[in-house]
Structure 1
Amino acid sequence: MTVPESPIPTSRYERGLNRLREIDGDAGEAVIASLADIAPDFARYVIEFPFGDIYSRPGLDLKSREIAVVAALTALGNAAPQLKVHIGAALNVGCTREEIVEVIMQMAVYAGFPAALNGLFAARDVFASRDAEPRDTV
């Protein structure tokens, strides 16, 4: 998915793609690429609306937005792949592991223990994956 880079995004798509890259990095682009053969229009919608419009609004910083998304996806209880992407995104935008775990635990009160347990297992997987990544030794 090659889009010419411009210093000032001029469209919802460009703004969304830049925000997606900032938040989710490779994981976000992998989700978009996975839709190319079945629903390329849906991939465009994901870039334009959530990332081009909502995530680009000035009312919340990215850390607050990702805390909200982790909480919502945990509460849904049926969105483990998306939750894992957003736990990674939360780490990318400055959330600590402890903050993520606390947000997920808080959801036990509102969404139940099964949803919180599933969220904690998703977090454990993401943290383990991050720990297994090679580190730069410069």
Structure 2
Amino acid sequence: MRKEFEGEAFEKGLKIRREVLGDAYVDKSLKAADDVSAPLQKLITEWCWGEIWSRPGLERKQRSLLNLGMTMALNRQAEFRLHLRGALNNGLTRDEIIEVILQGAIYCGAPASLDAMKSAQAVFAEIEEEKRAAGA
């Protein structure tokens, strides 16, 4: 592991990041880090995951719900898909995720909600395929 990916603050954030997003995604992100992107990985892991996600004011499920709404509003579909998986890991149901998208149709507009719904359908299908492949 890279030297800048060491230390108490990084480990704190890394633990939460892994719990929400899963080891495979986090390992891939960190492995892909180079001299250009490593400082951003460090910042996100320490500040986003270590500082914000560890605060006591909101539960992880609530933070996931907010992230889905914000990434949909910003039309950041890659992040929406990633955080959709995290939201499921944090206890949101598919029905709750669909409600977030419907709410977003009113406040974010139809194009954002249509893209988010397509992303949700794709992620739900990927998860079902992963379950089938694992024999579950």
Q: Quick check: TM above 0.5?
A: yes
Matched, 1:97 2:94: yes
Over the aligned positions, Cα root-mean-square deviation in angstroms equals 1.9
Aligned-pair CA distance for 1:94: 0.8
Q: 2:36 aligns with which of 30, 35, 38?
A: 38
Aligned-pair CA distance for 1:117: 0.4
Pairs within 5 Å for 1:1-138: 1=1, 11-25=8-22, 26-36=24-34, 38-77=36-75, 79-133=76-130, 134-135=133-134, 137=136
Q: 1:129 & 1:36 partners in 2: Cα distance?
A: 29
Gaps of 5+ in 1: 4-9
Equivalenced residue count is 130
Aligned-pair CA distance for 1:105: 1.2
Gaps of 5+ in 2: none
Percent of residue pairs bearing the same amino acid type = 34
Q: 1:105 & 1:85 partners in 2: Cα distance?
A: 19
Normalised by the size of structure 1, how large is the TM-score?
Answer: 0.86
Q: 1:63 & 1:90 partners in 2: Cα distance?
A: 6
